[in-house]
Amino acid sequence: MTENLFHDPETVDLDDLVEMISEKLKNPITIEDAKHRLIAYSTHGNWTDEARRETIMGRRVPEPVLNRLWQDGVIQDLMTCDDPIRIQAKNEVGLGTRVAISVRKGQSVLGYIWVQEVNEPLGQEQFKILRMASRAAMPRLHQRQVRRRIQEEKGKEFFWEMLLGTVQSHYEILTRAEDIGIKLPKIFSIFVFECDTAKYQSLEKEISYLLTNLRDTFSLHSFPLWVTSQNRFILMAGDREATSDFHQAACYFVQEMKMKIRERFGNVVMAGSFGNAYQSFASVEQSYQQAMAVLRMKKLLPKETEGISGYPELGLYRFIPLVLEKNLIEQHQNYRLEKLLQYDKENQSDLLHTLEVYFDCAGKVNAAANVLHIHPNTLAYRLKRIAEVAQLNLDDPNQRFSMFLDIKLLKLGKSL
């Protein structure tokens, strides 16, 4: 008789099913998907704890609760066990006593059923009912997962078209996004995160989880589209309203993402970048190319671009590849730079490095001397010698800038 408690599960709506489970177990029930987003909840009982209340209001399990469940190994147990698990109260995060079971199809976890144990404690008979409830929920959760995957695949295809410039009309993009069911932000940038390939598959899942469940904890709150390409994670991130401090929020977002990944995976090497912010979706490809340009420059000149995340911060380095190409075409050589190189070679000195450090320190003698680990008087002597050898007037802005640029171009050429 108990086998027919939840008959014809495919014809039963999840909202009805959760009420049926609640009635049988005489306790409040919630059903979540595999990413802990709320799908359905029962109305059984008048009392509820803070964790359940926040889950219902926010449509997802609160981050402090999830973190605690991960720390205590509860989520890991649910992901690997077919049987119900009793979870003791964790009052510091507002979680009362629970019994939970995973809903799975084969080895794949589709979601979870949570029983708030407030009216009647669950015994072995109730555990049997909960196992049946899990089997009954599986077809509906599977259908929901299939529909979501189809929508996600459509979204990824659409996003690649925008990134590669196949579709560029602002209004066509808005129309197609609406057809797929994607809500685009008012203002956006394209972000690119690049990380270690050996850890990338698990990182991809983790980043997807972070963006889905923790969006309200980030500086930016809208992440409608993302795709992966080898060891890169590319996403559109924006905000619901256009604001003047978007650039600052974008910088924070890169740092927040890297921090959260480090919290979960340890010392993962990850670089992040973003393009200019736009309100017209015709500029998606342009923002993407800008984000990629930042990543390339961070690889070629890591020291110079260490503190740079966004294309607006790239400044002079935006033009360096173009100037390098022009110099190659014109076979341009900076004779002052050539003189310094020749002198260093013949005398086994390092005047060129001294000059580069001096430029990098904005011409501040004390700061440059500290970097070089020499006395300021020693640096002053070297600068005088550099001026003589290279016939360089360090008080002439044009000569200083030209020398600085050509030093960086020399360095860039060696990196290519």
> Using one digit for the tens of pLDDT, what is the confidence trace for 169-209?
999 999 999 988 899 999 999 999 988 755 566 667 777 77
Per-residue model confidence (pLDDT) at position 338: 93
Which domains, ranges and CATH numbers included, belong to the chain?
2-147 (3.30.450.40), 164-314 (3.30.70.270), 322-415 (no CATH)
| Number of CB atoms found within 10 A of residue 87's CB | 19
* pLDDT score, position 140: 86
Vertex 297: Cα angle to 294 and 298 (nearest 5): 85
For 116, the enclosing helix (H) or strand (E) is: strand 108-116
Q: What is the pLDDT of residues 53-108, one digit of tens each?
A: 888 887 888 888 888 898 888 888 888 888 999 999 898 988 988 999 999 988 88
Determine the Cα–Cα distance for residues 62 and 78; give it in Å rounded to an integer. 18
397-415 vs 351-360: helix crossing angle, rounded to 10: 110
Rounded CA-CA distance 180/168 in Å is 17
Task: Tally the C-alpha atoms within 13 A of residue 317's C-alpha that lie toward its C-beta.
Answer: 26
Beta strands in 203-359 (DSSP E): 222-229, 232-239, 270-274
Instruction: Give residue-wise pLDDT tens across range 157-170.
Output: 999 999 999 988 99
pLDDT in tens, 239-283: 877 777 899 999 999 999 888 887 777 777 789 999 999 999 999
In this prediction the pTM is 0.70
So what's the pLDDT on residue 242? 72
